[in-house]
Copies of this chain bind each other. A is one copy, B any other.
Amino acid sequence: MQLTERQRQILRHVVEEYLRSGRAVGSKALLERVSLGVSPATVRNDMSVLEALDFLTQPHTSAGRVPTEHGLRYYVQYLMEEGELTPEEQLMIRHQFRQVEQQVPSWLKLAASVLADTSGNVGLVTPPRARVERLRHFELISLRPRVVLLVLVTQSGAIHQSLLDLAEPLEQERLSALSRVLNPELRWLDRQAIERRASGAEPLVALVLRRIAEALRFIEQQQRSELYAEGLEYVVRQPEFAQAQLAQVLLEVLRGGMLLTWLLPRLDPSEGVRVLIGSDLALRELRPFSLVLSSYRSGADVTGWLGVLGPQRMAYARAIAAVRFLSSVVSELMSELSGEPEWEGVR
């Protein structure tokens, strides 16, 4: 069954009033804010149609209407006016990114902060992640005669360090020579290729290669388990959180990493900004929340996620604008760091 234009307008205003105030919206109160040229009784009739179609619901008999998840989805898809961040905001944000250290973790943390600040909800960002992580470059740095620091940089821009204990002392000169020889050979190899190369090599080289492979594994694992979250203070401030129980749920979900291990792997990164409302999140605990989500690109075949998480009653238009803009900013920044050959051609 099709909605009439007036019903669509009523739905839109109910949703917007609800997002603003957090309270159930009644027919009379609605007409005090917006004029529809009809009486409260007419609005009530349309509201009861909308209720029958599961767009609206009543918390109790004598209360106003509240949008259902279905109603919110319809609003986001068909009724909401999308917007962009103002040019001043965009400038401010770009400026902030120029201020911080030019490295991936700083960018991700800042991106989460900015998402939180501009949307007034929790900002979430995952690290960039390659389908298979490849070595870009490694260096060996002598700390003490038999202790060496291995530093390596990967395709996705991750930097990793680990300590090696040597059987016998080695000078920096020898270490440098080793990395000079091995680097060209290992460039763009993945973990498995490096492991294969390790078997049969002389002991020192084998040690280094095995530790590089191990580091790549660590990095891949970390990329799957790390999540930058900022702005909890905004969400806790919402009236929904008055009993503080929701806040606890939220903290536990974020810490437990259920989003990362369960939800994100099931989504297609190529789809642009999407809005997941309540049960879309497929986690009972997250039922009262919504997530506005987008992927970002960081070189060919390397992507990450970023989004805004808040109560179902969130300012969707604003969150979507923030997510869309940040996605493009982060993608730009990341591809500067990127350096794999395929990607150079694309730019």
Contacts and interface: CB of A to CB of B under 8 A. Distances in A.
Contacts of A337: 143, 149, 163
Given A162-B101, A232-B232, A255-B233, A141 B149 contact: no
Interface string A161-190: 111000000001000100010011000000
A44 interface: no
Contact of A136 (B102, B141, B183, B242): B141
A101 B237 contact: no
A35 interface: no
B153 A149 contact: yes
Contacts of A139: 139, 141, 151
B143 A102 contact: no
Nearest to A336: B163
The 6 closest A-B pairs by CB, nearest first: A143-B339, A233-B251, A244-B244, A139-B139, A137-B141, A103-B161
Nearest to A137: B141
Contact of A344 (B144, B151, B241, B248): B144
Contacts of A160: 101, 103
A147 interface: yes
A243 interface: yes
Contacts of A161: 102-103, 153, 159
A69 to B, nearest CB: 24
Tell which of A141, A244, A252 has the most Cβ of chain B within 10 Å: A244
B251 A236 contact: yes
Interface in A82-121: 101-103, 105
7 contacts: A102-B162, A137-B149, A139-B139, A139-B141, A143-B339, A149-B337, A159-B161
Contacts of A149: 137, 153, 337
A234 B344 CA distance: 47
B339 A144 contact: yes
A247 interface: yes
Nearest to A187: B172
A215 B236 CA distance: 36
Interface in A233-289: 233, 236-237, 241-244, 247-248, 251-252, 255
A110 to B, nearest CB: 12
Contacts of A102: 161-163
Tell which of A147, A222, A251 has the most Cβ of chain B within 10 Å: A251
A175 B143 CA distance: 21
Given A101-B222, A176-B180, A236-B244, 8 more contacts: A102-B161, A103-B161, A139-B139, A139-B141, A141-B153, A151-B159, A233-B248, A241-B244
Contact of A147 (B232, B243, B339): B339
